[in-house]
């Protein structure tokens, strides 16, 4: 079953930042969809929990250069 998690992302200042984070998320194996909202500093990620954990999702955002915290 596909699950959805919400992530708070700090450090994004422009649309290129949010696009870069969104691309990094979508490139992850196990992630089936991702929307990053610059204004609210939030991302919503649809993922297959059998393939990827939310810690790995947070790690990918950190590696893209931003600070990620799990909301739900
Ligand atoms: Mo533009 Mo966003 O350099 O960091 S990508 S501000």
C-beta 55 within 6 A of ligand 1: no
pTM (predicted TM-score) = 0.95
Q: Probe ligand 1: pick from 13, 18, 39, max atoms within 8 Å of CB?
A: 13
- Residue ranges and CATH numbers for the domains of the chain are 3-70 (3.30.70.100)
Strand segments (E) across the chain = 3-10, 31-37, 42-47, 67-70
Query: Rounded distance, CA 3 to CA 60, Å?
Result: 17
Query: Rounded distance, CA 27 to CA 58, Å?
Result: 13
| Model ipTM value | 0.84
Q: pLDDT tens track of the chain, all 72 residues?
A: 999 999 999 999 999 999 999 999 999 999 999 999 999 999 999 999 999 999 999 999 999 999 999 999
CA of 18 to the centre of ligand 1 (A): 9
How confident is the model at residue 5, as a pLDDT? 98
How confident is the model at residue 15, as a pLDDT? 98
């Amino acid at each position: 079953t596909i699950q959805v998690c919400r992530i708070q992302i700090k450090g994004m200042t422009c649309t290129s930042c949010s696009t870069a984070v969104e691309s990094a998320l979508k490139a992850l194996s196990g992630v089936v969809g991702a929307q990053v909202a610059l204004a609210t500093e939030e991302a919503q990620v649809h993922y297959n929990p059998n393939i990827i954990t939310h810690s790995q999702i947070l790690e990918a955002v950190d590696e893209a250069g931003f600070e990620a915290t799990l909301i739900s």
